[in-house]
Every structure is written in structure tokens, then in C-alpha cells.
Amino acid sequence: MQPARQTEFTLDDDDFNTIAKFVKTQTGIVLSQAKRDLVYSRLVRRLRALHLDSFAAYCRYLEGPQGEDEHGSLINAITTNLTGFFREAHHFAHLADSTLKPLIQTRQNLNRRLRVWSAACSTGEEPHSIAMVLRSVLPETGSWDARVLATDIDTDVLARAKTGRYPADAVAPVPAALKSRFVTSESGGNVLIDPKVRSLITFKQLNLLHDWPMSGPFDAIFCRNVVIYFDKQEKLVLFDRLADMLQPDGWLYIGHSENLLGISDRFQLVGRTIYRRIG
């Protein structure tokens, strides 16, 4: 018989607040009391793995000399990685028709440089979707310097993303024309994303609240379903930094439940959760 939730270990207010403060400082994610069960279920596996007998012991471990090695595991356990291929499909239609195709036309005699950032790429479905679109609209002739930067705070999901391998049912949302070109079936019920697509992507670990080593500028940034966990001040700072990373008139795609009202005046809303940098 499985123990009832929070009977194997006790997660009291002090321990929850310690963990919530750590997560807020490290990631910007705000864990309200409503997330107590989530924190318990995500971290109880860490207590077992470390052979600890309480959340109080886990908090002491985090603050002790060995705790630094555990920080990444805690963040990986807490962060939510809900994603999917061509999620919010209108973003990818806009990326192809209103972002990339016009840029290819105007830059064909110039630097032929294209840059897109997936800023919270999780297990890689989003950047692979971006790269499929990019590969599909790039001219067959001519040399283009086209890249997709894919970043996430969670090292575990990045490792999975780099493989380009997914369960067959995961690619169901991929448009048929792109699936036939860029997805190969494997034995065991998996599929592999074409190397021509994967070669466009660079995966890197990145905390959006810390320093960003890249200089940009990007033509488009996908930052979707991330800031719902941030407080207002962190949103103000983040979107100002994102604006700085974009080309003038560059494009920003955010999540379906997000908006920039009262958060940033550096973007103009031009479509459903689609913004363009002003100036």
C-alpha cells in the first residue's frame, strides 16, 4: 500500500518556505502555498535518493558543503516542462510567412544571417519545430548563416532534447509536409528528427535571471509560458532584456496565457500573443 501524500515525510511551513525561497532566488519561479503538494511530490524522490529522513534534513543538506551539487537536481525536479511540437501553431505560421520569408527576401544580397532563440526549450520540441520551419523556407541554393539557440535551466531536459529522438505519437502535430521531410521512424516506436534540422540548433543551459553570454541580435525570440511563474518586477526586467536582444522590429512570441500589458512598452501587439519590438 502506498503511503498517503505527506505521510512518508513531513513538509512543514519552515521547510516549504526555505525551499520556495531558494527556488525563487535561483529561477524566479514563485511557489505559493498552493504548490505545496507539487513540491512534495517532486522532491520526495530526491530525499530518497540522498537517504534523508525529512525535509528539514534536506534543507540542511542544501545549505551545507555538499548542497551546491544538489542545486541543479532540485531545479530540475521543480521546473515544469510542458511542451509539444508546433504548440500554438499560429506562431509557426507567422514565423514562416511574416518573419523568415520577408527576411530571406531582404537579406539575400546582404549578410544572409538568421537567428531565432527558444528561451525555455524544455525537451526540444519547440526549437525542433522552429528549425523545421527554418529549414523549409531557406532557399535550396546560396549560403545562409541560420541558427536556432535553444536554452533551458534544466540540464536533464536539455540532454533529452539534444538526442532529437521522441516517441512516435509526439510528432502527431507536425504538419504532414514537414513530417515527411524531417521525421524518420525508428524501431521501438520512436522517431528521429532529421540531422539537417538538428544541425541548425545549439542547445545551452541558461538561467534567464542570470547573465546571458550571447550577444544577439535575434530576429525572433520564443519565450512562452515562462513568466507566468515570475513576479512583476522580474517580468519587467526580463522583457526589457529580451527587447535588447532583438533586432529593431524583431519578433517576440509569448505563451497563450501571457501578455505584456503594464509590463513593457517596448513591444507592439500585432497578433495573438505575437509582439514586435518598437524601434
Give average pLDDT by consecutive 10-residue segment, the chain, 279 residues. 56 92 80 84 88 92 85 78 87 97 91 95 96 94 90 92 95 96 94 97 94 95 86 92 97 91 94 92
Using DSSP bridges, classify how beta strands 113-119 and 190-193 pair: parallel, antiparallel or unpaired: unpaired
Dihedral sign (CA 243, 248, 254, 258): positive
Alpha-carbon torsion, ordered 205, 25, 218, 265, to 10 deg: 170
Please list the residue range(s) of the chain that carry CATH number 3.40.50.150: 89-277
Please choose, from the candidates 68, 76, 145, 154, the residue with its C-alpha nearest in 3D space to the C-alpha of residue 108: 145
Q: Which residues pair with 202 in a beta bridge?
A: 149
Which cell numbers in the block locate residue 86? 508546433
Are the CB atoms for 204 and 236 separated by under 8 Å? no
pLDDT tens string 51-105:
999 999 999 998 888 888 888 788 778 776 668 999 999 999 999 999 999 999 9
Q: State the catalytic residues.
A: 42, 152
pLDDT tens string 246-267:
999 999 999 887 889 999 999 9
The CA distances from residue 31 to 34, 78, 164, 226, 235, in Å, are 8, 10, 31, 14, 16
Global pTM reads: 0.81
Domain 89-277 has CATH 3.40.50.150: yes
Please list the residue range(s) of the chain that carry CATH number 1.10.155.10: 13-78
Q: Which helix (H) or strand (E) holds 179?
A: helix 176-182
Q: Which fold has domain 13-78?
A: Chemotaxis Receptor Methyltransferase Cher; domain 1 (1.10.155)
